[in-house]
Copies of this chain bind each other. A is one copy, B any other.
């Protein structure tokens, strides 16, 4: 099967390599010619230098995967494809688009008879080897047309033991991809996936931080607080120096919190027990925000997911004015001066 790929960043290039390894052919384009060159030499990969050339090299009905950063760039590419491709073609947006943009983008393409599949793609830098978990929205026929590619990109059924209770024919979901519903449904499910990811990451991170400070009783004198600071009432209970990399490792076997994120955390802690390569300014890339907004719109509580999001904001000191306001109030009512840095 032929696949056009637009966008040859880390994710796009890895998907191409996974696709051709399975016997498919790829025509690849990136606005950066060097990215095209880097891939074009490989088996079954043809590089092109424009969208027009990409369209030309693919036999209709064409299948084109767009893997560019979300936001205005995606809109730009979609708009160009609306004039470059032809009725009957299928476009996959595999990036991190907001599902609301999918609905708009699908309409732009639908006006030309082109169908858009929105495809949430999880797996990160490990996906080339492990396969990517794919959550897909859009027209069912378009999905059926593209399914062989999804089956190739996904991890496949062997990636996990079968869920007890499942019998007979292997379902789509068990192969690692799922048609979730109409336009936007794929990115909606992926958005919530990332929201959960934020929550799980924060769960681990907060827990590790509690372990790390289990020695605080050795660092703070008992009863040594003042009117400004809470004394540690019971230093005798915080005398532990925990070997955190080993704890992460032991949890990997048999514990309830076993997870891929824990596996990755164990790698990172083994490399650097102090995580000294990091300053602790945690980025967020959209889906966590959108998940919280969805919860609010729906009127359902998501305190854990939103707390995880806000912690990232706080890690970047975006709460500074709020904190100053708190200190200012304390000064006003209690005459409390701020204490110097701890």
**CB-contact partner of A203 in B154, B174, B199, B230, under 8 A:** B199
Contacts of A106 in B (CB 8 A): none
A209 and B255 contact, Cβ closer than 8 Å, known pairs A135-B250, A228-B285, A286-B231: no
What distance in Å separates the Cβ of A277 from its nearest Cβ neighbour in chain B?
8
| Interfacial residues of chain A within 286-342, with CB under 8 A of chain B in the complex | 286, 288-289, 291-316, 318-336, 338-339, 341-342
Asked if A41 CB lies within 8 Å of chain B CBs, one says: no
A160 and B263 contact, Cβ closer than 8 Å, known pairs A210-B302, A333-B125: yes
**CB-contact partner of A275 in B204, B277, B278, B321, under 8 A:** B321
**CB-contact partner of A316 in B156, B308, B342, under 8 A:** B342
In the complex the two chains form, is B206's CB within 8 Å of A199's CB?
yes
A165 to B127, CA, bound (A): 19
**CB-contact partner of A301 in B133, B159, B286, B313, under 8 A:** B313
Nearest chain B residue, comparing its CB with the CB of A125 = B335
**CB-contact partner of A319 in B232, B250, B301, under 8 A:** B301
Asked if A132 CB lies within 8 Å of chain B CBs, one says: yes
Q: Please give 19 more A-B residue pairs, beta carbons under 8 A apart, in addition to A213-B299, A228-B285, A283-B327.
A: A131-B253, A156-B253, A159-B253, A165-B267, A166-B249, A188-B240, A193-B251, A230-B286, A234-B297, A280-B323, A280-B327, A292-B292, A296-B309, A300-B313, A300-B318, A303-B311, A304-B311, A311-B323, A316-B342
A100 to B200, CA, bound (A): 27
What distance in Å separates the Cβ of A213 from its nearest Cβ neighbour in chain B?
4
Q: How many monomers of this protein are in the complex?
A: 4
In the complex the two chains form, is B72's CB within 8 Å of A279's CB?
no
In the complex the two chains form, is A164's CB within 8 Å of B267's CB?
yes
Binary B-proximity of A252-290 (CB < 8 A = 1, otherwise 0): 111111111111111111111001011111111110110
Contacts of A231 in B (CB 8 A): 70-72, 286
A304 to B206, CA, bound (A): 8
What distance in Å separates the Cβ of A165 from its nearest Cβ neighbour in chain B?
5
Nearest chain B residue, comparing its CB with the CB of A228 = B283
A239 to B255, CA, bound (A): 38
A210 to B329, CA, bound (A): 17
Asked if A45 CB lies within 8 Å of chain B CBs, one says: no
In the complex the two chains form, is A301's CB within 8 Å of B320's CB?
no
Asked if A46 CB lies within 8 Å of chain B CBs, one says: no
